[in-house]
Structure 1
Amino acid sequence: MIDNLLAGPAPRPTFAPRQIAAFYFKPCLDEEGETTGYYACKTCARRRKHAPKSGYSNLVSH
């Protein structure tokens, strides 16, 4: 009984926006295999723009 009182709740796993974006999106490539700056959602195929150094909030907000 005393063990239950002293033990805190188990920590919930948190994921970084980059991890979420990598799971749900794949990069769109041009004819030469270079990245275009657009990412396609793996579930609905909508394309989103990801600008360098802007973070992943645009992708995660989808």
Structure 2
Amino acid sequence: MAIHLYKTSTPSTHNGAVDSQVKSNPRNNLIYGQHHCGKGRNARGIITVRHRGGS
């Protein structure tokens, strides 16, 4: 069970590590990303929450 350490080429890979067991037999909640639909936006992507943002 080796741990693969990433070289720092981008900020997202900084201090990153992956276990070889996770690479060969991954869990579904680690594979698929979350659906980013929140942050006060409606279906059109327009901000609807009051008092957030500039100007």
State the TM-score, normalizing by the size of structure 1: 0.23
State the TM-score, normalizing by the size of structure 2: 0.25
Q: Which has the higher helix share?
A: 1
Q: Which has the higher strand share?
A: 1
Structure with higher RCO (Cα < 8 A, 6+ apart): 1
